[in-house]
Amino acid sequence: MRLAISPVEVLRKVPLFEGLSDTDLQAFSELCRERGYPKGSVIVFEDDPGDAMYLVADGQVKVVLIAEDGREVILTVLGPGSFFGEMAVIDEEPRSAHVIAMEESSLLVLRREDFHARLKQSPHVAIALLKELSRRLRRADEKIASLVLLDVNGRVANLLLRMAEEENDDRITRRLTHHTIAQMIGSSRETVSRTMRNLVDRGVIEVSRRQIVLKDRHSLMLAARRS
């Protein structure tokens, strides 16, 4: 799967590289290598050496933990403009999770050594990376709290709010099946289906094949116990 747009345009959509000049974007793009992954393929394995970070150019991937009995816990779902593997380029530790292509996907790969060398000339990226790591840590704390404190309705509401916020919109364009949502919030597909149907019937959300639209944020915030 070839990129539909140039690597520079891919980088321009990644928050990590916001504010960089065209010259800096071009310099980073020249360090990236394009790779394609078919649906279902493993992009990185948990405990593999972490020698690069990945930028999602097209498609959709999931970051998962896999139990010994084969059960999956989905930590997050990432689409175009997202990135992963950033911890590996900082602490040089092994991968902390599997990343699997949910559909045919194109990614840009940026090796640790190249990234470190370029950071010295583009300190704004280092600051942006720290902000993103802080944001992800806050999201992890929030997810742990929701799993402990909220019922399924609250967990679904919290997930929908969080994913909409990540897209800076009331629309979630990442394709999420009920099974995927269940794996993300620690529930069953049947329970998630009932919860989603109830939200649709009440006019809180609108669901189509391509997106989920949040119609009533207030009701979702009440369910997720957000102020």
Contact 105, 1 (CB under 8 A): yes
The domain spans of the chain are: 7-139, 151-223
Question: The tokens 């896999």 sit on which residue?
Answer: 66
- In this structure, how many other beta carbons lie within 10 angstroms of the beta carbon of residue 7? 20
Residue type for position 92: E
Options 3.40.630.10, 2.70.98.10, 2.60.40.290, 2.60.120.10; CATH for 7-139 is 2.60.120.10
Closest CA to 161 of 180, 146, 183, 148: 146
pLDDT digits (tens, 9 = 90+) for 72-113: 889 999 999 899 988 877 877 888 899 999 999 999 999 989
As beta bridge partners, residue 72 has 66
pLDDT digits (tens, 9 = 90+) for 40-64: 999 999 998 888 999 999 999 999 9
Closest CA to 129 of 96, 92, 90: 90
Token representation of residue 165: 């916020």
CATH topology (fold) of 151-223: Arc Repressor Mutant, subunit A (1.10.10)
pTM of the model: 0.81
User: Between helices 152-166 and 189-201, what is the axis angle to 10°?
Assistant: 70
